[in-house]
Structure formats: C-alpha cells, structure tokens
A and B are shown apart, each in its own frame.
Chain A
C-alpha cells in the first residue's frame, strides 16, 4: 500500500528541497536550543519519501488475512508503480499471482480511474474505486500513494506511542484532510517518528469520523536505496479480530513505460 505500506516518493527536487528545509530547521533547533517544529506538510512529504522511492519500482506484495485468529485468505500480487510527471502521484499496475483462480488478472489504478483486466476474455472493465478486488484491503491499500499530494496535513500533537514492534517512539501526530476526490480515505491520523520521519502507525476514518482501519508500518529494512517499512499490519476499525498482514518482497527498480498505465496496454502486459 503502499497507502499503508510501500508508499510513494516525492519528486526528487521537492524531496531534496524538503530535506534541506527540514535539515535547516533541525540544525536551527540544535544551535538555538529552540523547539521549532517543521511544517506538517513537510513532515508528511518526508514520510512519503521513506515509504516510496522517487523512481518507478516493482514489489511483490503478499496479503494474509485473519478472521478471529485463523488465516482465511492469502493473495500474492506483483505491484508496479510510477509517478505521473504532472501530478507527482503514483500510478499502479497490479498483477495477480495467487490465488490460482485469479492468476494473471490485472488491476490498473491511475487517479480515480481503475481498470480490471481478465485474460480469460481479454476484457478491460472499468470499476469504481470502491469496488474491491481483495478482502479487507481496499484497492487503495495495495496501490502506491504519495499522501502529501492528496492530503492537507496539520500537526495535532507530539506523542509517545508504541510502534508495530513494541518499541516506544516519540512521534508527530498529523491530522490529514483529503484535498483530492480521488482518495480512498477522507481523513487520516498519522504518527511519524520525529527523529527519522518513519511512519509508525495510521488511523483511517470516514467523513463522519468512523474508524475504518488502523495500520502499523513495521519491519523496516534497507530497500530501494533507503530504509523502508516492508510490512503493514491492518486492523479493521469495527472488528479488531479482522487482521491483514501485507508484506513486501523482491523490491526492484523498474523502468516502467508510461504507456503501460492505460486500458489498451493491459492485453499486452508482459512482466519479466
């Protein structure tokens, strides 16, 4: 998910600017002993850059779903993502690897345009963003997203919270409000480690404030040129016994042509 897992990077330039700005702010704090806090939007952008590289990439994502402690489903997906030059938002192409009944089906997400391709009949069907193809994970959960592109962040507080591995972390708590109609979740609360901008956890809400799900970002390791979370644990907002583990593997930088991200390409998809 890169919503919740491997997420989007920013533009290189913007990220560099952001990093420089944050670096200056942090340096200023050290030198002056001040308590100035970087802008919330910059924190969010830096957190995006932790989750996602700033180039096109591929990753294999395995989703394991549990209901009441029992494993009920396993899906394996190959995910290809590339930022759109204009908006900076990621477009994602997903190939289904498991279960066997869905082998080689494809899902393409480009903004709020979602296509589903079935090799059995070569038909590309447009589906709504709400039309789920997986279990608990929404389509928006398995695609790569730069949150800073679609949300306005404000700093709600600074808190000590336990991360997904049970360690105490001092975090910025950001409140995110959607600025784009194309997003899966209207409101998000996000905890980001103050020392390294690692996303720690997030809560996703409906417009009316109902908790949809909680996500923990964990298993940080070196991937795609940075230390990134490789696992997201998603807990349902209504039923906490409904848990999905999304784990990434086989990360690779991939030269994905822009022409792949349209309906008429899907019949030719040929990932090696």
Chain B
C-alpha cells in the first residue's frame, strides 16, 4: 500500500515536471512569434482551373469536361452611408461533345446599400436573397427559381454561391430582438437569355414578386422567422424557418412553406390546374463531434411533386415528357418526387492538417435512386486543390439517375489573389 502511494506520488511529480517543461517550451516558442497584422480588405478574387470526365454506362464512352472560372466579390463604401456590393463569376467550359467550348457569366449581385441609420437599410439592384435553414432543400428560398446559370458542382453550397440574384428594392429595419424585411422584385424581361455575357434578367425577373419576412426572438436563443411571398398570377405562400441548439454539439432545423398552387406536373406542362394547397418542408439536424466532423441528416418533403402512381406513369411515358418535367424541377430547384433523404458530412483536418473531406448523399424515398458526391480538398495559404467524384444509381428515368451518365469526376486548383 505504501509503495503504491509512493509510486503514485512519484508519477504525479514527474507529470507536473513534464507539464512545466512543456509549458516553458511552448512559451519560448511563443516568444519567437512574429505577428504581422493583416489589414482588412473589401474584396476577394480567385481563379480556378478544373479538368474532369463524365463517364457513361450505356456504351457512349466518356466525355472530357474541362473548365476555367474566375470569381470576384466586392463590398466597398461609397460614402459613410452608401455601399456598393458586387459579385460576378465567369465560367468557360470545354467539352468534347456537340456543345464544345462555351462560356457563361453569372452576375450574382450588383447593388447599392443605403444605411439610413444603424437600424434601417434600403438596398436596390441585383441581390442574391437567400432564405432557409435547411441544407439540401430550401422551400422558403423563394428566389431560387431560374437562378443557377452554370452548374459547376452539385454541392448545395456551390449551388447557393454561384447563382444569379434578382433585381429588387429591399428595405429592412432591425430592433434588438428581431427584424422586418420587405422587398419588391419587378418583372424586367420575359425569357432567359443564353448569350454568355447577358445579365440574364429574364431568368430571375420574369414576373413581379414581393416578400415580407419577420424574425423575432421568442425564447432565449430561439428566433423563428415567418415569411409571406407573392408573385404575379399565383397565390401567396407562407413560410417558417426555425432552428435551435439543444446541446453544445447539435443544431436542429425546420423549414416549411405552404400555399395554394399548381402541381409541379401542371407547371411543367403548362396546364391551368388544378390549384390546391401544397406544402413543402425540410427538417433535420447537424451533429458535430469533438474531432471536427459535422454530420447533417435531413428529411425533405415536396407536396406539389407527383404521387407514386403519377411518377411511375411519367417514367414510362415518352422520354420527352420526363425530360420536360425534370428540366422544370431543376429550374425550380424543387424535388422531382415527394420524399427525399439528404446527408452531408464535413471533416476538417481529416487525419492530415489542412485536408477537408466532404461527402453528400441524396436518396429518393419514392423510387430508391441515389446520388453521391465526395470531395477531398487540401488547402494551402492561397491555393486549394480538390478532387470531386459523383455517382448516381437507380433505374432509368428515376429521380437521381435521370441521364445516360452515372459517374463523373473533376480535379481542380483554385488560387486566391
């Protein structure tokens, strides 16, 4: 017994001495630190080169898919109360198919922001107005339709980053526990444009729209957001966004939108009706481990999507009908079928410092098709290297295996100026 006590005391003393030594070493190292304080800047610019391949599974072989992109972002003060905000992206794509080389410029934002006082703002111009607390599907993101001009990745973060804003005038007032936003987005052109440098107002501003959003803290750290959205020729839609952090490691979220409207099939085939009440929602949680792994699981529901029977019928209809419907749902960024599951994993510093691993899985509950995407991204101070692979599975004309190709990969390098 005495020996054990002495032994424990010895290890305690040794441990304390070791800790003291390592602390001294760390402090000596800190003494050598040269701190160069970087000045803040109001812009960000990067260029990106990507090479890739799309692999077909139906005997069509493979297709090269190379790209060069430049992305610029600016938020600069014009005066004490006025700022100019601009974001633009140019993608030049080269494929060895009939499309050959093509370019698409995405004028994401260009607007002036007037700060009336510390609580009130008026913005006018093209604004990327994003709503929604879910990750994979955002039914309250009312300005998503037609916004993606050039798909460079199926990562939901990329789809939100690289899209057109809508031209609008927006007013916002804030108080200590909440805010009120009112905006109006007018019709400017009737149809989307395909010219590379066209600002493409027809894609985002082809009808008059308005939105009202109120956020109010109701309890501790819970601040629900309620939205009302209207567009020319359609019924008003209501929306709710809500999230909470029940523990230190978990964030839960719920996003809902509902209102009267046509089904997506009627929308795709330009039919008059019927007009019924439909609801869409996405709910789930993000769990973060102590080792920097974040896992998001999300259930998605789209009440305006076809029923099981209607979906089966559409899949066996002439291909043109299916393709027309898919083009509509992709443009609206809605689900093609009623129910989906979504999972996303992010692992920062994955075993190797500066290596991030991201993976996404979408699964249609309706037809059991799936779409997977994996990215490994290694970042240095100003350069990122990434390898992305995507694959889909499912029978012909299912939700996530709609086309002839099932596999694709791209490797890219991004340089920040």
Chain B residues within 8 Å of A37, by CB = none
B37 within 8 A of A: yes
Chain B residues within 8 Å of A258, by CB = 176
Chain A residues within 8 Å of B44, by CB = 100, 103-104, 119
Q: Report the interface size class on chain A.
A: 35 or more
Q: Are B248 and A126 in contact (CB under 8 A)?
A: no
A257 within 8 A of B: yes
B250 within 8 A of A: yes
Contact mask for chain A residues 253-272; partner B; CB cutoff 8 A; 1 contact, 0 none:
00001111011110010111
* Interface of chain B: mostly helix, strand, loop or mixed: mixed
CA distance A74 to B33 in the complex (A): 11
How many A-B residue contacts, CB cutoff 8 Å?
179
Q: Are B37 and A250 in contact (CB under 8 A)?
A: yes
A60 within 8 A of B: yes
Chain B residues within 8 Å of A69, by CB = 29
Chain B residues within 8 Å of A132, by CB = 292, 348
CA distance A127 to B252 in the complex (A): 10
The listed residue (B25, B30, B37, B38) touching A231 by CB distance below 8 A is B30
B77 within 8 A of A: yes
Q: Are B29 and A130 in contact (CB under 8 A)?
A: no
Instruction: Output the nearest chain A residue to B181 by Cβ-Cβ distance.
Output: A264
Chain A residues within 8 Å of B19, by CB = 214, 240
Chain A residues within 8 Å of B181, by CB = 264
Chain B residues within 8 Å of A62, by CB = 35-38
Q: Given A130-B290, A262-B178, does the pair A100, B22 have CB atoms closer than 8 Å?
A: no
B380 to chain A, nearest CB (A): 9
Q: Are A243 and B179 in contact (CB under 8 A)?
A: no
B360 to chain A, nearest CB (A): 16
Q: Are A257 and B119 in contact (CB under 8 A)?
A: yes
Contact residues of B with A, CB < 8 Å?
19-20, 22-27, 29-30, 33, 35-44, 46, 73, 75, 77, 83, 87, 113, 115, 118-119, 121, 127-130, 133, 157, 160-161, 163, 172, 174-179, 181, 215, 217, 220-221, 223, 243, 245, 247-251, 253, 286-290, 292, 294, 348-349, 353-354, 379, 381-382, 384, 416-417
15 pairs of residues in contact across A and B, judged by CB atoms under 8 Å: A62-B35, A101-B416, A104-B44, A104-B73, A123-B160, A126-B243, A128-B249, A128-B286, A129-B245, A132-B348, A240-B22, A241-B22, A257-B118, A262-B174, A264-B178
Contact residues of A with B, CB < 8 Å?
60, 62, 64, 66-67, 69, 71-72, 74, 76, 78, 95, 97-101, 103-104, 110-114, 118-123, 125-132, 135, 162, 164, 166, 181, 184, 214, 216, 231, 233, 235, 240-241, 243, 245, 247, 249-250, 257-260, 262-265, 268, 270-272
